[in-house]
Structures are given as C-alpha cells and as structure tokens.
A and B are shown apart, each in its own frame.
Chain A
C-alpha cells in the first residue's frame, strides 16, 4: 500500500512527473495568438521545476528507503543520479529555446516530452523492480523517438526517428524476455526479493540476465549494437542529439549500475572487457574519418560508452564512484559540445554543407568566444588535464587497475590517445585555418551561451577540485 511517507520521500519524482502534465496544460491555456507568451511561460516553468527537483534531491542524499510498496529506492546513489540527470536536462532546456525558435519548431510539447523522458530516466535509476526499470525505459525511449523526429519538415529527422523506433522496439523485446526469464527462475521481479532468493547459476536465469544486458548494451550504444547511433544522432534536432547522447546514456548506465550490483554480476569481467575494448576501438577508429561534426561526436560518444563500460569490470564502491564521476563530466562536456554545434549550425537552405567540419574553419577568427568554449569541451572530451574529463578517465582506468585488469586500462589509454587526434583536428580547424566562404554566425542566443558557460564552469571546477563531486559519492555502499 502507498502511504504519505512514500510521497514525502519521492518529491523530485513527483515534481518532474507533475511538471510534464502542467506544461501540457499551460500550452492549451493561452489562445493561439499568444503562442509566444505561453512558450516563454513554459520555458521558465520547466527551469523552475527542474531547479526545485534538484534542491529536493540534495535533501534526499542521506536517505535510505525503499518506498511505494518496494518499487522505488531512495538512497545516495539514486539521489546523485537524479541530480546528474536533472542538471543535464536543465542545460538542455536552457539551450533549446533559441534553437527551437530558429528552426520554427517551438512547441510546448517539446518541453512536456522532455519532462516525461526525464521522469522515465529518474524511474530507471530509482527502480527497485524490473517492471519499473522496463516502464521507465519505455517512457524514456518513446519520448526520445518523438523528439528525434520533432523536425517534421526534415527528411533526416524522420529517418532518425523511424530507425530509432524500429530498433528500439526490437530491443525492448529482448529486455522483456530477459525479465520474464528472471521472473521464471526467481519467482519475482523485485530486487529485494531477488537478493533474498540468492539465485544460483541456472541456464534460464543466466539467459535472462544476458538478454537484459543485451538490451542495456543497445541503450548505451556499446559495441555489437552501436550501429543506430550515428544515423539517429545525425538526423535528430541538434539539442535533442545533445540530450540523447549525454543524459540518455547516463540514465542507461545508471540503471546498469543497479542491475550489476543487485545481480552481483562480478563474474563476467571478460565479457565486459571485450565489450568495452571493442566499443572504444570502434568509436575511436571510425570517428577519425568523419567529416560531419555531429557524426564525429556520435562516434566519439560510442568511444565514451566504451570508457564507461571499463568501470563495470567489477562492481565495487570505487568503480561505482568512478563511473558516476565520469557520467557527471561526460554529461557536461557532451551536451556542452552539442550546444555549440547547435549555435554554429548554419541557417542556409543547403542541407549538404550543414554541420560539416569545413564550417568550423576559421571560427576562432569570426567568433572567438564560441570557439573558446568549443575548445574547452573538446579538450575535456579528449581527457586533457585541467578539465573534469581527465579525472573521469583517470578514475575509470584506476578502477580497472585495482581489480587487476591492467591490460584493459592500457588498451583504453592507448585508444583514448587515438581519440585525441580527431578532437584536436576540430580545434585546429577552428583556430589555424582561414574562414571559407561567407560564415554567418547569425544569431547570438543568450540562453544557449548561459548553458554552455555553466557547463564550462562545472568542467573547470570539477577538474581543478574533483572533491566537489567525490564528497557526495563517499556514502555510496
């Protein structure tokens, strides 16, 4: 039975779920002639709701409850994840306003779908039951399919949505079948009940775990199931791509942490090592030859999924902290880089030259501020010291060395050196080349600038003083 204590301990969830509904109502309250007013109101309301949810999540950091009839957990891990996800969506909302206006897709439904997907992601992290993981994942995915196809006039956007939808729906079947097998063996879908059963090795139980793991491999875009990432990320609206590649992946990895620790998947390090190494290899090597910046960052996001996967070699308190630190820095630098891409995006009708690396030539001369921000994001993605991306990689590879997987760490470090090449290439294009053609950085969007600056400040602060994050992670397990 649900009682009032449950509501008191899940305020961030309730705020975000309710905010999605209120946003939909706000859209309908105003007449069509006052569309501008309603969009502005929705924008500020969404920001306020997210800030409120972040504040309450900080209050939940010390709690340790299982609520809603054992369906939801509230503890340090889930609260940290909530804060990370909420911050990512905050940055996304902030950077969306001008982009949506410019592309003439400024509808209130965008924000409500964003809220619903955030609700699903938070549920995935807080789930204490495989059913809630499934429902949360579906809620997130359905919103992502629609958001990917939000630019209905563009063929690429529609292509991206249909590809993502077909593959996602197919992989959902894997997840559901896996849950069914686990239920068949343990007699429950509840994490608490499953850990009480102490499941032994059984063919169907292992089959179930494997199927669920496969579904997560798809959602995180790791090696054997990464082929959807470039096409989907290229076609989707740029701000949505930034959100899917950073916040969406973070949510999937967050759910994977719980899944690994609940089912004690410490005995498959070879499988995880292979997945991680092949993901890093594929992402880094294919990214070398990309000429479209969105595709390049899509492949780089595959590589980053590989780095994070290294943290799953053996789940212990140190590796969980390492993964969470990486996720914090990743969400800031990845969404930050996509904010800059959305600002640079040319507004010419010519779609072929859009987002090419060529359009970054000489950006440092025409718009030094934007180039400086982009340079910082790319340095952080490459893992160059003063920024948080370096510490993320450092802790991840340290966690691999701690469980005696030195060779995985060495391969990872070598592959991340390969990755430095294509990040530096973009930076060289920006600062050391002359601008080609007429580059018109036509609009200055203050909100997007704010979002990018917030990300940079975060990256710099956490890079110089990583204890700002680590102090919250100490209480985990």
Chain B
C-alpha cells in the first residue's frame, strides 16, 4: 500500500465508518444509535467519493442520510420507546440468528476483500473510473434512457397527487 494523501484520506473515512458502526450498535439509547448511523452513512459516502463514484456518494447521502434516517428518527420518536428496555429484549433465537447472519455477511465480505488484496482484481477496472461519475450517469439518462426517465416523472407526479389526496387535512 502506498502512503499517499488519497489512501490516507480513504483510510481515515474507513476507520471513521467502522468506529461509528461500532458506536452505533453499542449505544443503549436508540436516538444516539440513529445519530451514529448518520455519521456512518456520511463516512461511507466519503469512501465512495474517494473511489471516484461521485454519483453513488451523493445518492448515499440524499437517500440514506436524508430520507431513510429521518424516517428512522420519526419512527423512534413516535413509538416513544421507554428507555432502553425494549431495545435490549433478549431472545436467544434472535441472538443466534443474528450471529449466523453476521458471520455469513462477514464471510462473503472477507472473501471479496481477500481477492481484492491477493487475487486478480488488484487494480481498478479502467471503465469503473468513468462509470460512477455523474457525467456518465447523466449522459446515459438523457440519451439512451430519456424515455423511461420522462416516464418516472409521471410516477412521481402521481405519488405526489396521491399523497395530497390521502393526507391533506381538509379535502373539499
């Protein structure tokens, strides 16, 4: 590994992601956990940015940190969990299945990392470097996929109209 600025920044983002993830699962207060999860999302998006995937990085922040986390916080606040008791309910089968699933995820990630360090995928695919940029995504979107792109606007419009129809306070 070469110790240039790029790698050091990537590494610090990675360490930040790891640290915040550990902090997230060890906190007893659900809101603190959620806030650590936001830190985690931001640092992962930093890693994406260093891997030259600007588009994925921005989507990560917009969708996960922006939308999904707000939803999480709302749910936590609305449910109004009394302290930490409900979060900490221990069921043995839950723990066992969590451990099995965690190990499976760790194994698959470990195999990928192993091949990344020692296998044939040591260098970045030259195509990958342009694939993740906003420019290339936008170019595809506005040329090849312009028709479905326009159609999606109808879906969004229908969803907005539907949300107003169903949720507006006085609808007469």
Binding site for B on A (CB under 8 A): 1-2, 17, 20-21, 24, 68-69, 71-72, 107, 109, 112-113, 116-117, 119-120, 123, 129, 131-132, 135-136, 138-139, 142-143, 145-146, 149-150, 152, 161
- Give the contacting residue for B161; candidates A24, A120, A123, A135; CB below 8 A: A24
B151 contact set on A, CB distance < 8 A: 123, 132, 135-136, 139
A107 to B162: give the CA distance in the assembly, Å: 12
Q: Are A129 and B148 in contact (CB under 8 A)?
A: yes
A103 to B73: give the CA distance in the assembly, Å: 38
A123 to B62: give the CA distance in the assembly, Å: 29
A143 contact set on B, CB distance < 8 A: 158, 162
Q: A71-B147, A109-B164, A116-B161 are in contact. List 13 more A-B contacts (CB 8 A).
A: A2-B147, A68-B147, A69-B144, A107-B165, A113-B165, A116-B157, A119-B154, A123-B151, A135-B155, A142-B158, A146-B158, A146-B161, A150-B165
A20 to B151: give the CA distance in the assembly, Å: 13
B152's closest neighbor in chain A, by CB? Answer: A135
Q: Are B161 and A145 in contact (CB under 8 A)?
A: no
A71 contact set on B, CB distance < 8 A: 147-148
Contact pattern, B 60-88, Cβ under 8 Å of A = 1, otherwise 0: 00000000000000000000000000000
Q: Are A116 and B158 in contact (CB under 8 A)?
A: yes
Nearest 3 A-B pairs (CB), nearest first? A146-B162, A68-B147, A116-B158
Q: Are A113 and B148 in contact (CB under 8 A)?
A: no
| With A72-B147, A129-B148, A138-B155: A112-B162 Cβ-Cβ less than 8 Å | no
B171 contact set on A, CB distance < 8 A: 107, 152
A150 to B168: give the CA distance in the assembly, Å: 12
B166 contact set on A, CB distance < 8 A: 146, 149, 152, 161
Q: Per DSSP, are chain B's interface residues mostly helix, strand or loop, or mixed?
A: helix
B19 to chain A, nearest CB (A): 32
Interface set, chain B 131-172, CB cutoff 8 A to A = 143-148, 151-152, 154-155, 157-159, 161-162, 164-166, 171
A-B contact pairs, 25 of them (CB 8 A): A2-B147, A17-B154, A20-B154, A69-B146, A69-B147, A71-B147, A72-B147, A107-B165, A112-B161, A113-B158, A113-B161, A113-B165, A116-B161, A117-B158, A120-B155, A132-B147, A132-B151, A135-B151, A138-B155, A139-B151, A142-B159, A143-B162, A146-B165, A146-B166, A161-B166
A109 to B172: give the CA distance in the assembly, Å: 11
A71 to B171: give the CA distance in the assembly, Å: 38
A2 contact set on B, CB distance < 8 A: 146-147
- Give the contacting residue for A116; candidates B143, B144, B148, B154; CB below 8 A: B154
A135 to B147: give the CA distance in the assembly, Å: 11
Binding site for A on B (CB under 8 A): 143-148, 151-152, 154-155, 157-159, 161-162, 164-166, 171
Q: Are A109 and B144 in contact (CB under 8 A)?
A: no
B152 contact set on A, CB distance < 8 A: 135
A131 contact set on B, CB distance < 8 A: 145, 148
| With A72-B147, A135-B152, A152-B171: A145-B162 Cβ-Cβ less than 8 Å | yes
Q: Are A139 and B154 in contact (CB under 8 A)?
A: yes
A123 contact set on B, CB distance < 8 A: 151
B162 contact set on A, CB distance < 8 A: 113, 142-143, 145-146
A149 contact set on B, CB distance < 8 A: 166
Q: Are B155 and A109 in contact (CB under 8 A)?
A: no
A161's closest neighbor in chain B, by CB? Answer: B166
Q: Are A1 and B143 in contact (CB under 8 A)?
A: yes
A146 to B166: give the CA distance in the assembly, Å: 7
A109 contact set on B, CB distance < 8 A: 161, 164-165
Q: Are B161 and A139 in contact (CB under 8 A)?
A: no
A112 to B155: give the CA distance in the assembly, Å: 13
B157 contact set on A, CB distance < 8 A: 21, 116
A112's closest neighbor in chain B, by CB? Answer: B161
A128 to chain B, nearest CB (A): 10
A129 contact set on B, CB distance < 8 A: 148
A150 contact set on B, CB distance < 8 A: 165
- Give the contacting residue for B155; candidates A107, A142, A146; CB below 8 A: A142
A448 to B84: give the CA distance in the assembly, Å: 58
Q: Are B165 and A139 in contact (CB under 8 A)?
A: no
A70 to chain B, nearest CB (A): 9
A68 to B151: give the CA distance in the assembly, Å: 12
Q: Are A139 and B146 in contact (CB under 8 A)?
A: no
A142 to B153: give the CA distance in the assembly, Å: 13
Q: Are A139 and B158 in contact (CB under 8 A)?
A: yes
Q: Are B148 and A135 in contact (CB under 8 A)?
A: yes
A112 to chain B, nearest CB (A): 7
A62 to chain B, nearest CB (A): 24
A287 to chain B, nearest CB (A): 31
B158 contact set on A, CB distance < 8 A: 113, 116-117, 139, 142-143, 146
A325 to B115: give the CA distance in the assembly, Å: 56
A69 contact set on B, CB distance < 8 A: 144, 146-147
B148 contact set on A, CB distance < 8 A: 71, 129, 131-132, 135
Q: With a 10 A CB-CB cut-off, give which of B147, B159, B161 has the most chain A CB atoms.
A: B147
A24 contact set on B, CB distance < 8 A: 161
A17 to B147: give the CA distance in the assembly, Å: 13
B11 to chain A, nearest CB (A): 32
A161 contact set on B, CB distance < 8 A: 166
B81 to chain A, nearest CB (A): 23
B126 to chain A, nearest CB (A): 19
A20 contact set on B, CB distance < 8 A: 154
A72 to B147: give the CA distance in the assembly, Å: 9
A138's closest neighbor in chain B, by CB? Answer: B155
A150 to B164: give the CA distance in the assembly, Å: 11
B161 contact set on A, CB distance < 8 A: 24, 109, 112-113, 116, 146
